[in-house]
């Protein structure tokens, strides 16, 4: 079997199918930074594609067999690209090795002495971003791959020259089992991606395999307060450092104060004060994320001041409680939450803020998730003052279930379903007023609603 690491040397040439995505564009830049000639293709000419071109990477719009030239030595594709793709077919016909994106990232992670991989059903992007801030404050010059945009980097990635790589590690399709973590962080484990996993036990099995990818001298960082996570790491033959809000955890918080949209607390490590932290984003879930980031960085020998100042400089990642602007006196935020657990964390944080009305525009993500977690979604979506529902974002799926956001609306008192964004935006224009906070929520394109409102302000 040909390994991707065989191609990680200057002068090689590769082609990336679907290069415009967050993870793939980051991969393209990292490979380019290693001296590898990179070309790519994507269906859309977006900002990521334009950024790649500015760095000298040739990107084709549209997928065409002609894009696979004879000098291409390897091809990388996303999980969304299938065997009927013309570039995939061309590569196979020419005998060019084809790799999935996570295989490439996994091979790259082997190149670093320290490979910090952040996993979990939710909180990955925020915690990976916090770790990045801490490691930058510690002058470790890390390479970074995040599933979202971090303002500090002005991107979702960074090509560093230190001996540390920080990576967001997703469980979908067992992707993170291609990684080689020296520190594997597990934030939480819940039933999700049930179009791939059979059930919660199957999800837990995957996370345990991920934890076991840590070498004998590595560390597993685990959420002490999450029963599923602790079940995953029970009796594991690896060093485990726990974090949480209870004093039974290795890393925990004391003297938590919430002050408007920020929090202050002391971080304790094994019963002693490690540092004090001021966090400029709201919510108890972000306190937990900060504890996870601290525990992860402690595992890498990072000193207290780097944690203190790294977290103090963190103001959130793109599409994570992201302030967008003001419309008719109402504050507009956007958030990526698309699982009931994420919705709970978001709404808990929103309810701490001093707004008269919480208006939530929610776009469910995938038919299978909506159906499998239907009652959990209903429970959380009953909480906002006003709830508007956009139609389900299909992503990679076809609606073989016959489910709609209209089905959610029937179970939520006062909820309104809007089949199109135009009609939904019109309704928001009518009701938005000072004292309101409007959240566009979901992993699809619901963020466009807030952006459209602000264009017309």
Residues assigned a catalytic role: 124-125, 168
Q: How far apart are CA 275 and CA 215, in angstroms?
A: 29
Residue 303, number of CB atoms within 10 A of its CB = 14
Q: For residue 382, is it left (φ>0), alpha (ψ between -120 and 50) or beta? A: alpha
> Is residue 10 classed exposed, middle or buried when 0-12, 13-18 and 19+ CB atoms within 10 A define those classes?
exposed
Spatial contact of 50 and 58, defined as CB atoms under 8 Å apart: no
Spatial contact of 73 and 12, defined as CB atoms under 8 Å apart: yes
E-state strands within 74-207: 74-77, 98-100, 114-119, 143-150, 155-158, 164-168, 183-186
Q: Encode 119-130: b = buried (16+ Cβ within 10 Å), e = exposed.
A: bbbbbbbbbbbb
Residue 331, number of CB atoms within 10 A of its CB = 18
**What's the distance, CA 43 to chain centroid?**
22
Q: In what order do the strands lie in the sheet with 322-327?
A: 322-327, 330-335, 436-441, 357-362, 386-390, 416-418
**What's the distance, CA 415 to chain centroid?**
28
Non-local (6+) Cβ contacts of 283 within 8 A are: 263, 321, 345, 346, 348, 349, 352
How many residues are listed for the chain in this entry? Answer: 457
Read off the tokens for 119.
Answer: 């996993």
Q: How far apart are CA 386 and CA 242, in angstroms?
A: 38
């Amino acid at each position: 079997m040909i390994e991707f690491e065989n191609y990680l040397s200057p002068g090689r040439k590769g082609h990336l199918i679907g290069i415009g995505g967050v993870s793939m564009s980051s991969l393209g830049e990292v490979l380019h930074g290693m001296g590898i000639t990179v070309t790519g293709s994507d269906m859309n000419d977006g900002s990521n594609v334009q950024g790649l071109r500015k760095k000298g990477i040739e990107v084709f719009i549209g997928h065409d067999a002609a894009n696979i030239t004879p000098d291409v030595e390897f091809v990388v594709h996303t999980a969304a690209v299938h065997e009927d793709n013309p570039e995939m077919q061309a590569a196979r016909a020419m005998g060019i090795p084809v790799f999935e994106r996570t295989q490439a990232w996994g091979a790259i992670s082997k190149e670093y002495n320290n490979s910090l991989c952040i996993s979990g059903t939710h909180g990955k992007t925020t915690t990976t971003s916090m770790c990045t801030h801490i490691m930058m404050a510690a002058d470790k010059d890390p390479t970074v791959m995040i599933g979202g945009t971090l303002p500090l980097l002005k991107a979702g990635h960074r090509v560093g020259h230190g001996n540390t790589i920080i990576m967001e590690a997703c469980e979908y399709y067992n992707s993170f089992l291609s990684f080689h973590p020296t520190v594997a962080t597990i934030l939480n484990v819940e039933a999700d991606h049930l179009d791939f996993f059979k059930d919660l036990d199957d999800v837990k099995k995957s996370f345990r395999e991920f934890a076991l990818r840590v070498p004998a001298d590595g560390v597993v960082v685990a959420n002490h307060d999450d029963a599923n996570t602790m079940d995953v790491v029970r009796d594991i033959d690896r060093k485990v450092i726990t974090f949480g809000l209870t004093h039974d955890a290795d890393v925990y918080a004391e003297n938590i104060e919430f002050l408007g949209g920020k929090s202050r607390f002391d971080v304790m490590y094994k019963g002693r004060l490690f540092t004090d932290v001021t966090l400029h984003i709201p919510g108890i879930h972000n306190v937990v994320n900060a504890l996870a980031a601290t525990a992860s960085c402690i595992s890498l020998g990072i000193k207290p001041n780097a944690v203190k100042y790294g977290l103090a400089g963190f103001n959130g990642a793109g599409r994570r409680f992201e302030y967008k602007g003001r419309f008719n006196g109402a504050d507009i935020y956007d958030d990526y939450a698309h699982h009931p657990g994420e919705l709970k964390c978001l709404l808990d944080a929103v309810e701490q803020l001093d707004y008269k009305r919480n208006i939530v525009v929610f776009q469910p993500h995938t038919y299978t998730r909506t159906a499998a977690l239907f009652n959990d979604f209903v429970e959380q979506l009953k909480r906002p003052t006003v709830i508007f529902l956009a139609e389900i974002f299909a992503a990679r799926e076809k609606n073989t279930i016959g489910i709609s956001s209209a089905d959610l609306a029937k179970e939520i008192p006062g909820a309104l379903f809007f089949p199109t964004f135009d009609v939904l935006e019109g309704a928001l224009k009518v009701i938005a007023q000072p004292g309101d906070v409007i959240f566009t929520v979901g992993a699809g394109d619901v963020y466009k609603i807030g952006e459209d409102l602000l264009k017309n302000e």
